[in-house]
Amino acid sequence: PAIIRREDYTPFAWNLPEVHLHFELGLEETHVTAKLSVERNPQAEASPTIRLNGDELEPQSVAVDGEQVDSWTMDDGDLLVSLPGDAHEIVIETTINPAANTKLMGLFASNGMLCTQCEAEGFRRITFFPDRPDVLSVYSVRMSGTKAAFPVLLANGNLEESGEEADGTHWAEWHDPWPKPSYLFALVAGDLVSNTDTFITASGREVTCNIYVREGDEGRTGHAMESLKKSMRWDEETFGREYDLDLYNIVAVSDFNMGAMENKGLNVFNTKYVLADEETATDGDFDGVEGVIAHEYFHNWSGNRVTCRDWFQLSLKEGFTVLRDQLFSQDMGSAPVKRIEDVRVLRGAQFPEDSGPLAHPIRPDSYREISNFYTATVYNKGAEVIRMMRTMCGPERFRQGTGLYFERHDGEAATCEDFVKAMEDGAGLDLTQFRLWYSQAGTPKITARLEKDGEDAVLHLSQEVPPTPGQESKSPMPIPLRTAIFDRETGKHGGEQLVTLTEAQGSFRFGNVGASPVLSINRGFSAPVTMSRDVSDEDLVFLAAHDDDPFARYEALQDLVVGHLQHAVSGELSDDDRDSAREAIASAIGSVLADDSLDDLMRGELLVLPTEGYLAETMAIADPGRIHEERAALRSAIGAQLEDQFAAMHERASAVPYSLSAEARGARKVKTQALIYMAAGNPDRGKAMAWEQYQAADNMTDRQGALMVLAGADGIKRTNALLDFYNRFKGNALVIDKWFSLQSMSTHPGVIEHVKALADHPEFTLKNPNRVRSLYMGFAVNQNAFHDPSGEGYRVIADLILALDPINPQTAARFVTPLGRWRRIEPDRSALMKAQLERIAKAPGLSRDTHEQVSRSLG
């Protein structure tokens, strides 16, 4: 398949000011008539034809200016129509089969309803169209279908008219006044009920907000509605952005490739990010709903009002919108805890991407299949890059910069460069060198050393940006590091400074630092880098206990643990040294348990050990078996040393009644952490407590936490709890997803066999992405099971990719990433991983999505 390159961008030869679509709806047969008004684009090179993209479509008829024509040809699925003049009207008819659309792109059927997903290139599966984000049109949509099957008919914008026919069909006409690209088009038809509310905007306009779900689910939409209204208010207050239609519709569907989609005025959501109540959703799920509702809402400005010129600019809308949703969630709950969670996601998903075969800059230079570039790099690193700009100029100037960006580019299809320029002009930043963050891939490696010099201390910094595929050598980037120098004797520092390293090396002087200075650097994770700092374990223990930046406190404890595990895994430690390091870590964790100044949400965060995946990422070549053993042994040692403290914390937290308050959520978080450590330190006692927590649970957070611990152990309690959970929640797809993933993510030694058996379970299907992810993504991140030395884990994932690829290539391609880590794994396993990639590569008829990921992974 052809490579698409950023440098090849040219504007489209035609403008399409108006689009009229007519849908005659049916699950197995939907007839689409598209009427396109086209005019020559004076800004583009003239062309005698128009290229209308198509994917698995056949034109039934093509008319130009009212006359049927046969002056059209097909080219690789696209329709080319000759157009002699400067302005024409084209009418095209197509028929599609939504029920057969297992790719879930374009118009598809889900549980008897019809629904669209057009980003990035799904619209071309509905009708022939210039399916590119820089072609903006005003859409009018008429749809008709049987009232019995599709009582609710929705599209973007406002409902203009509707009516019924005598034959049992009904129809609706929708009009969206805001010009938009085809990827923001949406249509939904089905048997749905709504939770309806209103929101009054800052300028006093009333907006009707509907959340449409299947009957029976409406009782679980309250949190989503509250989240929506909070997001609308927050965007007015924080970014000065007001909603611009009288209607905001959200529809929840159970078959969806991603989390949600920001179609103008008609968001489509995966049910996972809409439905939540205490019995069926964990605190994490509640946060997920709030975050994704906010994210899609914020796209109304960062993505819809100002859209992207081409898909290379994806981070323009996604990175910025992720930052906006992160800042929102920080304001809604605990800011430090949210920051730690976001960094954990970045390190867990993006750092491995940046150091592997799929590394790419946040603004990629080329692709074959754009769906493969909806990545943690574009989204999460993209957010970090914009966050750095905010750190460098402060929130007020940042708001001026973003304000200028929205004002300057409203109604346009913009570029990342436009954003950077607006930040320079509006926020007063010089981003000349900073632009490298858009073009260079790879996570910069920073080394830091503090040297005492009389009354002062000098901070020596160096940076190295590692080579990535296609980018062998890199230039130094600006690295803004929030830094403080503590005086160990007073426990205080003389004020935080923003130190920006712009060269490969740099030294920075700090005055009057006291007799024993301790370096606190990259506070708040101000730059998305890896940091190797020359500090002693004693300094880390000091910072873990005293740093006034909560993130830095978390980081110090993490570094202590990571440092120990790196040594332990490499076999460098004597038994005595290992024991004393474990004891030192346990006593630092003991201080966390005893520290009354911490709230439980933060305490729970500090107790989480670095994941096996993250530990592997910190090593040049990882031995997943050794990492698992050492991490598990450390956890057992901590659990054993602090058994009574964990039991006491569990008892204290168990007395807090259920609510969504920070206090109650914190209590639930530390309860499950206590169970994890107790089950490791004293398995019988831990299991008994988990069983008790499971049975007493009046909410999903407690129940899932307990079941997670039980699922990792052997015995009758495991069997009974899993059975009880299944029977209790049978019929609730989202909770049954949890049942699958709890087993595939478990620490139980029989996980591979369990996963194989679960794949044959009557409730397992390859057609539902949530179910596929719950079983197999859970398994692929379960490092101990996936990296089983037999190679069976790799085979399971490769088999899945081959089976799923013809059904849903987009989802299948996402499973290539874990196998793509083969170069960073010890030689025996590495060879087995590579062999599975080669097996996939040889399979005939591989999709463009999977083929691209496999060939990049092997390349």
User: Distance from CA of residue 387 to its chain's centroid?
Assistant: 17
Show the 3-state SS of 709-771: HHHCCCCHHHHHHHHHHHHHHCCCHHHHHHHHHHHHCCCCCCHHHHHHHHHCCCCCCCCCHHH
Complex with Zn ion: residue 307 or 321, whichever CB lies closer: 321
For residues 251 and 265, give the distance between their C-alpha atoms in angstroms, rounded to a whole number. 11
* Binding segment toward Zn ion, per CB under 5 A, in 44-52, 313-321, 587-595, 771-779: 313-321
* Binding segment toward ligand HT7, per CB under 6 A, in 256-264, 549-557, 582-590, 609-617: 256-264
Partner interacting with residue 349 (select from Zn ion, ligand HT7, none; CB below 5-8 Å by kind): none
Q: Least distance to ligand HT7 from the beta carbon of 812, Å?
A: 13
Q: Is 290 in the site for ligand HT7 (CB under 6 A)?
A: no
β 247-253/266-270 pair status:
parallel
Which positions ≥6 away from 827 have C-beta within 8 Å? none
Complex with Zn ion: residue 324 or 668, whichever CB lies closer: 324
Comparing every residue's Cβ against ligand HT7, the nearest one is 258
Nearest Cα neighbor of 283 from 609, 780, 672 is 672
Give, rounded to a whole angstrom, the gap between the first and last alpha carbons of the chain: 16
Complex with Zn ion: residue 293 or 697, whichever CB lies closer: 293
Which positions ≥6 away from 81 have C-beta within 8 Å? 49, 50, 52, 62, 64, 69, 71, 72, 90
Q: Which of residues 296-315 bind ligand HT7 (CB under 6 A)?
A: 296, 299
Q: What is the CB neighbour count within 10 angstroms for residue 500?
A: 19
Complex with Zn ion: residue 321 or 350, whichever CB lies closer: 321
Partner interacting with residue 420 (select from Zn ion, ligand HT7, none; CB below 5-8 Å by kind): none
Partner interacting with residue 555 (select from ligand HT7, Zn ion, none; CB below 5-8 Å by kind): none
Q: Which of residues 798-817 bind ligand HT7 (CB under 6 A)?
A: 810
CB 212 within 8 A of CB 188: yes
Which positions ≥6 away from 65 have C-beta within 8 Å? 88, 89
Among 55, 235, 262, 369, contact with ligand HT7 (rule: CB under 6 A): 262
Number of residues that bind ligand HT7 (CB under 6 A): 15
Classify burial at 536, counting beta carbons within 10 Å of its beta carbon; exposed 0-12, middle 13-18, buried 19 or more: exposed
Complex with Zn ion: residue 318 or 547, whichever CB lies closer: 318
Q: What are phi and psi of 827, to 5 degrees?
A: -55, -40
Among 257, 263, 526, 693, contact with ligand HT7 (rule: CB under 6 A): 257
Q: Least distance to Zn ion from the beta carbon of 316, Å?
A: 11
Which positions ≥6 away from 37 have C-beta within 8 Å? 16, 17, 18, 19, 87, 88, 89
Q: Least distance to ligand HT7 from the beta carbon of 772, Å?
A: 14
Q: Where are the alpha helices (DSSP H) in 595-642?
A: 600-607, 612-617, 624-641
Q: Is 261 in the site for ligand HT7 (CB under 6 A)?
A: yes
CB 604 within 8 A of CB 664: no
Complex with Zn ion: residue 383 or 392, whichever CB lies closer: 383
Partner interacting with residue 117 (select from ligand HT7, Zn ion, none; CB below 5-8 Å by kind): ligand HT7
Q: Which of residues 110-129 bind ligand HT7 (CB under 6 A)?
A: 117, 119-120
Among 371, 443, 744, 847, contact with ligand HT7 (rule: CB under 6 A): 371
Q: How many CA atoms lie within 13 A of 488 on its CB side?
A: 14
Q: What is the CB neighbour count within 10 angstroms for residue 454?
A: 8
For residues 181 and 176, give the distance between their C-alpha atoms in angstroms, rounded to a whole number. 12
Partner interacting with residue 257 (select from ligand HT7, Zn ion, none; CB below 5-8 Å by kind): ligand HT7
Partner interacting with residue 231 (select from ligand HT7, Zn ion, none; CB below 5-8 Å by kind): none
* Binding segment toward Zn ion, per CB under 5 A, in 124-132, 317-325, 438-446, 670-678: 317-325
Q: Least distance to ligand HT7 from the beta carbon of 271, Å?
A: 14
Q: Is 318 in the site for ligand HT7 (CB under 6 A)?
A: yes
Q: Least distance to ligand HT7 from the beta carbon of 270, Å?
A: 9
Q: Which residues are catalytic?
A: 296
* Binding segment toward Zn ion, per CB under 5 A, in 171-179, 315-323, 406-414, 549-557: 315-323
Cα torsion 847, 848, 853, 856 to 10°: value is 130
Please compute Rg for the chain using Cα positions: 28
Q: Side chain identity at 381, as an amino acid letter?
A: K
For residues 502 and 475, give the distance between their C-alpha atoms in angstroms, rounded to a whole number. 10
Complex with Zn ion: residue 269 or 740, whichever CB lies closer: 269
3-class DSSP assignment, residue 157: coil
Q: Least distance to Zn ion from the beta carbon of 302, Å?
A: 9
CB 819 within 8 A of CB 837: yes
Complex with ligand HT7: residue 295 or 851, whichever CB lies closer: 295
Which positions ≥6 away from 828 have C-beta within 8 Å? 789
* Binding segment toward ligand HT7, per CB under 6 A, in 223-231, 272-280, 292-300, 386-394: 292-300
* Binding segment toward Zn ion, per CB under 5 A, in 320-328, 622-630, 660-668, 700-708: 320-328
Complex with ligand HT7: residue 295 or 671, whichever CB lies closer: 295
Residues that bind ligand HT7 (CB under 6 A): 117, 119-120, 257-258, 260-262, 295-296, 299, 318, 371, 374, 810
Residues that bind Zn ion (CB under 5 A): 318, 321
